[in-house]
Structure 1
Amino acid sequence: MPMIDYILTEKSAHLSDLRNNLKKITGKGEAVAILSRNKPVFYAVPLEVFENMLEQIDDMQLGKVIKKRRRQPSVKVSIDDL
């Protein structure tokens, strides 16, 4: 059974094209699948998209910490004790 490689972007370019035409391929601010031997090897995404992805991952991880801590018993503290 042949392997199917899914490309998760609307645009793709071959690795050899990327070397020669980096600005042309990535200059429009869109994600591009980079192919080698017609298989995706990595995705080139604009800096803003990458930073946004990292923020979302961080938010999800913080959300997990918050949920975990909410299940722990709370301790009442007087403002004067602080």
Structure 2
Amino acid sequence: MDAIYADYSVSMSEFKKNPAQVLRTAGEKPVAVLNHNRPAFYMVTPRLFEALVEEFADRDLVDLARQRLSQKDGAVEVDIDQI
């Protein structure tokens, strides 16, 4: 059995009947749309999707910062006032 990463789930046939109503019912929560009782896809609001994209971007920046910090022994010290 597949894990479902949503508070709400709906069958594919129920989703097809009225997708807008499914989204309204879920509010800002993700919805798992099931096909034969297995997640076929997840539906999220634009607001939640934006938040997810921002979170992924932040994680990428954190990884980049950690990578650069691990290489700081090879860094050259500069005085910003002399540039």
- For this structure pair, what is the TM-score category when the shorter chain's length is used for normalisation? 0.7 to 0.9
- Runs of 4+ deviating beyond 2 Å: none
Residue ranges of structure 1 left out of the alignment (5+ in a row) = none
Residue ranges of structure 2 left out of the alignment (5+ in a row) = none
Identity in percent: 28
Residue type at the aligned position of 1:56: E
Query: Hey, what does 1:69 align to over in structure 2?
Result: 68
Query: Hey, what does 1:29 align to over in structure 2?
Result: 28
Aligned-pair Cα RMSD in Å: 1.4
Name the TM-score, length of structure 2 as normaliser.
Answer: 0.81
Name the TM-score, length of structure 1 as normaliser.
Answer: 0.82
- Secondary structure at the counterpart of residue 49 of structure 1: helix
1:67 deviates by 0.9
Q: Is the aligned partner of 1:43 residue 2:42?
A: yes
Aligned residue pair count: 78
